[in-house]
Copies of this chain bind each other. A is one copy, B any other.
Amino acid sequence: MPVTTIEWLDNKVKLIDQTKLPGELVHLHIDQVEVLGEAIKKLRVRGAPAIGIAGAFGVLVGVQHFNGDDKGKFFSELDRAVTYLRGTRPTAVNLFWALERMRRTAEVNKEKTISQIKLLLFAEAQKIFFEDQETCRALGRHGAALIPNPATIITHCNTGALATADFGTALGVLFTAHTQGKKLHVFVDETRPLLQGARLNMWELMQEGIACTLICDNAAAFVMQRQKIDCCIVGADRIARNGDTANKIGTYSLAVNAQKHGVPFYVAAPISTIDFSLATGREIPIEQRAAEEITDGFGPEGLRRRTAPPNAVVYNPAFDVTPHELITAVITEAGVIRSPYGRHLPELQSRS
Contacts and interface: CB of A to CB of B under 8 A. Distances in A.
Interface in A84-136: none
28 contacts: A22-B307, A187-B315, A190-B192, A192-B216, A195-B307, A198-B308, A199-B307, A202-B312, A203-B309, A206-B311, A213-B313, A213-B314, A214-B315, A215-B294, A215-B314, A215-B316, A216-B316, A218-B218, A219-B249, A219-B250, A221-B252, A225-B252, A225-B321, A256-B257, A256-B260, A298-B298, A299-B303, A303-B303
Interface in A203-258: 203, 206, 211-223, 225, 249-250, 252-254, 256-257
Contact of A198 (B23, B189, B202, B294): B294
Counting every copy of the chain, the complex holds: 2
A220 B297 CA distance: 19
B257 A198 contact: no
Interface string A172-212: 00000000000000010111110100110011001000011
A304 interface: yes
A295 interface: yes
A72 interface: no
A305 interface: yes
A202 B191 CA distance: 21
A300 interface: yes
Given A216-B250, A221-B320, A249-B219, A206 B299 contact: no
Contacts of A189: 218
Interface residues of A, number: 60
B216 A217 contact: yes
The 7 closest A-B pairs by CB, nearest first: A299-B299, A298-B298, A218-B250, A221-B253, A222-B320, A217-B218, A192-B216
